[in-house]
Structure 1
Amino acid sequence: MKLNRLKCGLTQGELAEGIISVSYLSKIEHNQIFPSEEVYNLIFKRLGIDIEEELQLNDFVLEKKCRTWFHALLLGSEKDRLSYLYEDIKKPFSRAFIHEYGSSVLRKGR
């Protein structure tokens, strides 16, 4: 989220204004707390992020990484390469990612 805020040229105060406190936003950016879906939606809207588009992009990237890993398995790649690819696939499934996207994804039956 911080990266998107900086890309938009916004300070924490500007992004948080009328939605949440600056200290709360700071905790979100540092993955110390996970706000409600409503707060995420308001922040994403202010940042100009289309949540559906982001989810589709994430799906595309994940599928590409899985295909690369699968091909590496078929080709008998070295264990270190396979482990690296597997760990790269697992990254988006951190607690923050699941909290951030999980409820909306599950609700839509994806």
Structure 2
Amino acid sequence: MSSSPVRGVDVDQETRCAHYHTDRDVVAFRFACCEHYYPCFRCHEERADHETVPWPRDRFDEPSVLCGVCETELTVPEYLAADYRCPACDAAFNPGCANHAALYFETAGADP
């Protein structure tokens, strides 16, 4: 896994948290403001002592998404291309995360 553990509220061993805890909520996102993984933006809001800064577009080639099942780190393009499944272990990711993509990735959905 990454050099720092996943932070948040009631985070389990597969990165589910107090806010999102279905069988598909097994992904964590690294935030540029602190370089730490959190299961969701709400966990970051509750646990961090600073404003949220999404992962910058010019760093999309760096791992910033973590599969909570197998601990594989993905880049933003790898995560977005994976169709809500981990390319390493095939664990299902929650497609609802797309509703908050702009909080995790800078200019998510915009053309490069």
TM, length-normalised to structure 2:
0.30
Q: Which has the higher contact order (CA 8 A, sep 6+)?
A: 2
Q: Which has the higher helix share?
A: 1
Larger strand share, 1 or 2:
2
Q: Which protein is bigger by CA-based radius of gyration?
A: 1
| TM-score, normalisation: structure 1 | 0.30
